[in-house]
Amino acid sequence: MDNSFNHSLEKVSNCVYRLKANNTLQDAYVISSEKLLGLLTKDRTLVQLSNVARLPGLVGPVFVMPDAHEGYGFPIGGVAAFDAEDLDKGIVSPGGVGYDINCGVRLAVVDLKIEEVRQKIKELTNELYKNVPGGLGSKSAKLRLKESELDELAEKGIDYLIKAGFATSEDKKCIEEYGRMPNADPNYVSDEAKKRGKDQVGSIGSGNHFVEVQEIKEIYDESIASSFGLQQGKVCIMIHSGSRGYGHQVCSDYLKKFEKYLAKNSIKILDKELVYAHLSTEEANSYLKAMACAINYAFCNRQLLLYGVREAFSKVFGIDELDVKLVYDVCHNIAKFEDHTINKQKMKVCVHRKGATRAFTKHRKELPEKYYETGQPVIIPGSMGTASYVLVGTQTAMELTYGSTCHGAGRVMSRHKAKEEFSKRDISNELMAKGIYVRATEKDNIYEEAPGAYKDIDAVIDAVRCANICLPIARNVPVAVIKG
């Protein structure tokens, strides 16, 4: 671990700063406004960014986004790209993906006016609470799997749920990677990971995960908003969850395996949390196959949560379940092979996004047909009780940040400190006074996830807009929140 960190920040363009640090192999950049910049010095975010910039196999600069904060090895909000053409140079690092593999967000819309929903908000919230299990160790309400079925789900992703009747072909078109990473192989996932994940697929979990009913409050680009199915005054549903204990165990297992790989090859690193393996090795190949299983698991987890949401809306409002239409589903803890232009040459790279969201602009081959002319929807949740945003990526993002942007508001307070600070207040009633109905499995989670524990989401969005890596399309505000 680097304890002799000397650095300064040089502004290079609007809301883009270059980190001047000792002995980095690549440049490191901070996407931030002046307003948010000071928060990055309150923990080890910039130290970690500097350490990432010293990893081998990088093809260009590394980044943190304005919601960044200290993480495991890589900072949360970190983006880095490694050589995927020369596999002896390029690497993959579990710390650059995180424990909650494919933690992500999906957005769905329903053709109901906010006034209609507010009239039945308590009934709807209670129905959602029954249909979307939350809390530490929570289990699915919709699906019980044998291990062989879990393996099939992890290998096939959303295709498994289409066959089982929990998803549609239209849903598949609106999911990053179309809901299935093709190289998934459950043989590389431990029995412990399968044991932890078997009954959890289709549950929120705890921490900052949620299901939220929102009002589409403001529209900034009518044309793109319309193509996304967003209308001011209508209702949408945001789902934030990941790969639960399954992905957590995959990360834990491979951190140990990568530690052994580095020791076996006498490779020394600055921070033991930045363990890695070269892409040419069996260790890296095994992790990528296991990680893909966790990615597919998370896609299915969010799909089953959407299924529960559809049932709740159908029961309360008498609509068809499929009237709750999926807009898009994005990942924000992932390593993927993508083509990017580096030094004016197109090359294949392994992009690590940890607490960062893909923000591809229009005309990328990875985009579904319906978003080919607009760019993909970029879904950025705020903290409980604050706004969330839908944005679209830009060409600047493609050129600067490997098509990446922020993933949320970003914590400024530890869970322990937040609990200490906010348990003195009745946060639920404070939110209720603002017209936000909240139900949580664990009362402490309301304190730990209080809005004051996070950065100002409006300031975060202003920073990515200022840097021109994302443009706001819609601003949503919560009317009901289901927490773990």
Residues annotated as catalytic (active site), given as ranges: 407
Using CA atoms, how far apart are residues 157 and 189, in angstroms rounded to an integer?
15
Amino acid at 384: M
Q: Are strands 388-393 and 470-483 parallel, antiparallel or unpaired?
A: antiparallel
The 3 state secondary structure assigned to the chain is CCCCCCEEEEEEECCEEEEEECCCCCCEEEECCHHHHHHHHCCCHHHHHHHHCCCCCECCCEEEEEEEECCCCCCEEEEEEEECCCCCCCEECHHHCCCCCCCEEEEEEEEEEHHHHHHCHHHHHHHHHHHCCCCCCCCCCCCCCCHHHHHHHHHHCHHHHHHHCCCCHHHHHCEHHHHCCCCCCHHHCCHHHHHHHCCCCCCCCCCCCEEEEEEEEEECCHHHHHHHCCCCCEEEEEEEECCHHHHHHHHHHHHHHHHHHHHHCCCCCCCHHHCCEECCCHHHHHHHHHHHHHHHHHHHHHHHHHHHHHHHHHHHHCCCHHHCEEEEEEECEEEEEEEEEECCEEEEEEEEEECCEECCCCCCCCCCHHHCCCCCEEEECCCCCCCEEEEEECHHHHHHCCCEECCCCCECCCHHHHHHHHCCCCHHHHHHHCCCEEEECCHHHHHHCCHHHECCHHHHHHHHHHCCCEEEEEEEEEEEEEEC
Residues paired with 337 in a beta bridge: 350
Measure the CA–CA gap between 445 and 455, rounded to whole angstroms.
17
Q: How many CB atoms lie within 10 A of CB 365?
A: 7
User: Which residues fall within 8 angstroms of residue 57, CB to CB, at 6 or more apart?
Assistant: 82, 83, 89, 90, 91, 278, 279
Handedness of CA 166, 172, 176, 178 (dihedral sign): positive
As a whole number of angstroms, the distance between CA 69 and CA 414 comes to 11
